[in-house]
Structure 1
Amino acid sequence: MTKSVSTEQVAAFRRFNRSFTRRIGALNDHYLGQDRPLGEARLLFEIASADAAEGVSLRELRTRLGLDAGYLSRMTKRLQDQGMVRLTAHPQDNRLRMVCLTPAGRVEVEEQNRRADALAAGVLLGLDPDQRTRLTEAMTTADRLLRLAAITIERVDGHAPDARTCLDAYAHELAARFPEGFDRADLVAPDEVSGESGAFLVAYEEDRPVGCGALRRLAPGVGEIKHVWVDPVARRLGLARRILEALEREALLRDWPVVRLDTHASLTEAREMYRSCGYTEIPAYAEHVYASHWFEKRLIPRNGIERKQG
């Protein structure tokens, strides 16, 4: 994946940001004509979006919104003083501060949503039906790509809780999809994908694991890719390809210029992705009860990829 970004791309991104924030009134201290700035309005909206009866924790809000703890605390205190929210302790963990809307807060959020819908409709009314369709499709694409850009992929130890969480979800999904079910004993052992033996990658969106992939040594100069998985909430973003590319980089770091993998007959979308990413179908290279298709790719080192020192 190239890391260079042109000045034209940067300028276009900033130009869109300026135009959009001005158009929706993000710079106004009275967002949507209500007596509060966008930051507080967004905080009320996020609190309202929580499904739990006890509300949402300040810790989760801080992660979700990317806010400084002190700034979030001050905003929450202002909303509490205005009678919009109520702060309590979590019933099972006194260290967690929970926040939920008061009846007055719910009324304000309902009005906020009504005004936001009206603003969006007003913008779209300035376009003909075909232009509206093009704009909404473009915004959907922009949202998808912005989500993908914000997701980070990190190497973790194969024993790490996030690694096991992802593999648990992966195994549960395969058990439901495979006609014969899935035996968890088929999962890679943590030591196979840790240290010099291999790598385990976890994708994070807002500090929550939403995908994974593993790489282990198959033979001298050959690595095997295992368990590429994306949580349903993060699918159709292109994340599986990013995980695959990151695993390929890990293979090059270890001087494994050939990578192989296998996949089940029912995972048609996986086979399509592997082929489109340059993998060639080959004869079976190992016996595997869940495999019906085997693939290989010869990796080409790119600038900046150096052999891992160890």
Structure 2
Amino acid sequence: MENPILKDPRELFHTEKFEKQDQDTPALQAKMNPKPDCGEKSYVGNKKLENRRVLITGGDSGIGRAAAIAFAKEGADVAIQFYPGEEKDANEVAECIQEAGRKACLLPYDLREESTPKQIIEQAVADLGGLDTLVLNAAQQISKKSIEELSIQQIRDTFTINIIAMFELVQLALPNLPAGSSIITTTSVQAFDPSDHLLDYAATKAAIANFTIGLAKQLASKGIRVNGVAPGPIWTPLQLDHGQPQGALPDFGQESLLGRAGQPVELAPVYVFLASNDASYVTAQIYGVTGGEAINL
């Protein structure tokens, strides 16, 4: 009898402290050290999403990038929205999608601009020939140690990007989504255990969790499933772009039960499952990928 293939989760990926580093806005994955593993080489597809037409916001780096690459390797055509200025990362993702033999569509739009959601949906539908899967993942995360330092403009921007854009994108996409479609949001462990330095970000993530379950109740009668993923500390460009308190980056993720930060590719199978027909009886759920921290509604 052959031995089972087991991997100690404590010893996977990057297990050491991170070096001190930061970037100007927008932070690029291409400049990170170490560069996050988004499944460029490590993810292996199994044709679970053959010929699906997917829109992913924030799809150029981090978790959105991992989802985009995995979806393409599973057989989907993918449109990715990204913040203008992140073209280098977006082009890398497009290359990965095309190497998987699928169509890649790049949508450089700033979600803070009023007309953006309409343009994103219209272009995605036109380029992909339809739409059946939404991964609403784009986010702004800026650390501020006190509410006195938190500008109202930052609060407005964080809410606009993180949750208001979700409402608009779903409203505009809905007429194009047939029965069997899937909507997946990215919330966070911050929705359930907020950090004091991420007051606005954590509040939006709590709103996203609530939005996800409420929307699932609305759309079940249309045969559309809605679920969310709640990541814990994941090594992404968000952390380098003022996403962590000064001096905190080297220890990022080290306090998780598994003793390390997660990598974006470790979330990809969850997004694939929730989008696929394997999850046909799964809706109104939040899946935690947190390294051990509990999530509760």
TM-score by length of 2: 0.26
Select the structure that is richer in strand. 1
**Greater radius of gyration (CA):** 1
Higher relative helix content:
1
Higher RCO (CA < 8 A, seq sep 6+):
2
Normalized against structure 1, the TM-score is what? Answer: 0.26
